[in-house]
Structure 1
Amino acid sequence: MSESPTLGAEAAASVVPASSGTPSPAIGQASASVVVVPEPESAVKPRSKKRLVLLALLAVAIGAGGYKGYDWWTVGRFFVTTDDAYVQADISVLAAKIPGYLAAVPVMNGQTLHKGDVVARIDDGDYRLARQAAHDKLVTQEAAIVRIGRQIEAAQAQIVQSASQIDAAKADSVRATADYARQQQLEKVDFVAKSRIEQARADRDRTDATVKGAEASVIVMRANVDVLRAQRQEAEGVAAELRTAEARAARDLDFTIIRAPFDGVVGNKAVEAGAYVSPGSRIAALVPLESVRIDANFKETQVERMHPGQRVHIAVDAYPGRDIIGEVEFLSPASGSVFSLLPPDNATGNFTKIVQRLPVRVRVPADIAREGVLRPGLSVTVRVDTRDPKTAAAPETDRQRTASAPE
């Protein structure tokens, strides 16, 4: 059977002479002398370009990995990171100290207060009356003390007067006794009348009685002075109690005005004017934004090289991209579980080791705290630079921030 013209033409088109001096073979023998034509250069170039791109990417990856490894070895391994950290502050809950109805609450949530500013006022009518009553009682008692003091002075003056009368009576007694002795001597020689002797004896007895009476009066007067002094001491004790009552009434009157104990921002206002409050009733909370801090909880395996004074890089979730520099203030003296309400008891026999967390206090710069961007309760990520302070003095670069990732 003869070949079709089309097949013979395709075979002839794919055959090239082996050399210029050799005749072409017959069409039927084309398969024995076929030479394949090489692919054009346009088909080779895309493969070469892909190979170059892959090699370039591999080189970049190796270089980046080496750079990262070098960066971690020189910088990153010294950073200790945790995202178990929060902004904290010593929030004060302002409460009433005395019962009463609120006359005014001139503050609102979010209002900035300074130390001494009025937060609330309790109706003070009853407390003013109580203070006035206590003051009046004290004035009356002090007047009684003055009166007793004057009575003591008068009694002491009478004692002095009676003492002088005793001296005069003793002088009369001595004179009468001497006169009676003389009359007795004269009686022995019958030189004096008997009536004269009796008169001298009576004078002697009278003067002796006068002396004894004056001395007894002085004793009574001194006893009265002692009684008056005891009364004055008792009155002074009552006056001291009344002074305490007046001071307590004045203090309660002062408590009708609730003031801010420090600078801060009002939050969680709980009452309005007209409400009745009892001692301990919550009025509002005062947040000291200028004295905020960071409380971070690090694993016990992370605190080996950590100590107070080290630089801390603070990243606030609410302000991405901002890096705040703080300082380690102190490390807690015990782990967080020790201070928990129910500390763990590992003596039960069912022990599972858990990595403990150690609270670390981070001090926030005063200028950052005054900005008010750090609000208590916000989540932050902290990175502690545990290098030598001189080495860590240089500012952290972007590559250093990513050298150690959060847990």
Structure 2
Amino acid sequence: MSRKEQILKQLAARKKAFTILGSVVVLCAVIFGLYWGFYGSRYISTDNAYTATEIAQVTPEIDGTIKAVNVVDTNSVKEGEILVEIDPRDMQVAYDKAKANYDRAKIDFDRRKALSTSGSVSADELTRSENDLAQASANFREATLNLERTTIRSPIDGVVAKRQVQLGQRVRAGTPMMVIVPLLKLHVDANFKESELEKIHIGQKVRLTSDLYGSRVVYQGVVDGFSGGTGAAFATIPAQNATGNWIKVVQRVPVRIQLQPEELAANPLSVGVSMKVRVDTRSD
């Protein structure tokens, strides 16, 4: 083969290689364009997301000694179910005294009111009796309420967590006893980059999966609201950027995503579970 033929063959091979390379580049560009047009520009995703909920704190409203504790951590409870009972004897005595005083004051007032029409009882005396009845009535209502407060019921449906109260313990009003976690009212706090928030709006549909179940369980959520500040703004020790060595860091803003109770009932989640979130920005 002559020198000229070798050169022509090499040029043909190079041309073929460049053609193939160009075709690959064009194909990649087309694939990327299709991806961006149908997916990348439509969906915004993050795995910096966790389940959360508004828990109910259970505390006594009176001082007393614990007579019974009917639940332990992980127990499911219904609204109104009895959680804790405080020894009612002291409150029962106070109730009986208040009721006796009220009954006596009521009888005394009724008698004076009947006599006042004939002039046998002065207006001042009737007024004092009426005031005594009002005071006795208030004391009786307070004693009744305190007696009812010896029975502590669940304020909501949920699961018992952080139980701290023990049988025989002397507690004061406001002492934390436990919390009730409403697992069917969980939401997700998804932390998106501040540069991504422009496309996210309330009402957009969200696809979620959890690390607990993996991709086999998909939750359908809705964007419910935005936090009033970034995570760094609400940190215990907020960042101090007014320094000479300041470096810009992209901040993340929590976005609240509402979950469906029926999906949570079918596949329960716990508070703090990691989630993967994908927002459909064209669904509003």
| Cα offset, 1:312, TM superposition | 0.9
Q: Whose Rg is larger?
A: 1
Give the unaligned 5+ runs of structure 2.
1-19
Pairing 1:110–2:74 present: yes
Structure-2 change in CA distance of 1:62 and 1:319 (3 Å)? farther
Q: Tell me which of 118, 136, 145 is aligned to 2:109.
A: 145
SS of residue in 1 equivalent to 2:248: coil
Report the Cα offset of residue 259 of structure 1: 0.4
Identical counterparts, % of pairs? 31
Query: Which one-letter code corresponds to 2:156 in the other structure?
Result: F
- Aligned residue among 207, 221, 225 for 1:330: 225
Name the SS of the counterpart of 1:119 in structure 2: strand
- Unaligned 5+ residue runs, structure 1? 1-55, 157-224, 390-407
Match for residue 205 of structure 2?
311
SS at match of 2:41: helix
Q: State TM-score, norm by structure 1.
A: 0.59
> Are the structure 2 counterparts of residues 306 and 147 from structure 1 closer, same or farther at C-alpha, using a change threshold of 3 Å?
same
Alignment of 1:166-181 (within 5 A): none
Structural mapping, 1:282-301, within 5 Å: 282-301=176-195
1:369 aligns with 2:264: yes
Deviation at 1:251, TM superposition (A): 0.6
Give 4+ residue runs of structure 1 displaced > 6 Å after superposition: 59-62
Q: Distance in 1 between matches of 2:245 and 2:264?
A: 46
1:289, 1:372 within 8 Å by CA — same for their partners in 2?
Answer: no
Task: Give 3-state SS (helix, strand or coil) of 1:154's partner.
Answer: coil
Instruction: State the AA in 1 paired with 2:99.
Output: H
Match of 1:229 in 2: 123
Q: What is the alpha-carbon root mean square deviation over aligned residues?
A: 2.7
Whether the aligned pair in 2 keeps the contact of 1:113 and 1:265 (CA below 8 Å) is: yes
Q: Distance in 2 between matches of 1:95 and 1:250?
A: 19
Query: Matched residues in 1 for 2:249 and 2:123: separation?
Result: 75
Relative to its length, the structure with more helix (as a share) is: 1
* 1:266–1:151 CA distance, 2 compared to 1 (3 A): same
* Greater CA drift, 378-387 or 329-338: 329-338
Q: In 2, distance between residues paired with 1:316 and 1:60?
A: 37
Q: Kindly provide the CA deviation profile for residues 68-104 of structure 1, in whole angstroms up to 9, marking residues without a partner as x.
A: 5522332122211222211001111211111111111
Deviation at 1:346, TM superposition (A): 5.2
What residue identity is the alignment partner of 1:368? E
Q: Which residue of 2 aligns with 1:20?
A: none
Give TM-score scaled by structure 2 length. 0.82
2:153 pairs with one of 259, 265, 271: 259
Q: Secondary structure of 1:376's match?
A: coil
Structure 1 residue 350, shift from structure 2 partner = 6.5
The structure carrying a bigger strand percent of its residues is 2
User: Pick from 32, 48, 62: which aligns with 1:98?
Assistant: 62
> Could you tell which deviates more after superposition, 270-279 or 335-344?
335-344
CA contact (8 A) 1:148 1:232 kept: yes
Distance 1:349-1:238 versus aligned 2 partners, 3 A rule: farther
Count of matched residue pairs: 263
Instruction: Tell me which amino acid in the other structure corresponds to 1:140.
Output: R
Report if aligned partners of 2:205, 2:283 keep a CA contact under 8 Å in 1: no
1:358 paired residue number: 253
Task: State how far apart, in whole Å, the 1-side matches of 2:238 and 2:137 are.
Answer: 49
Answer whether contact 1:145 1:235 (CA < 8 A) is retained: yes
The aligned residue for residue 4 of structure 2 is none
Aligned to 2:43: 79
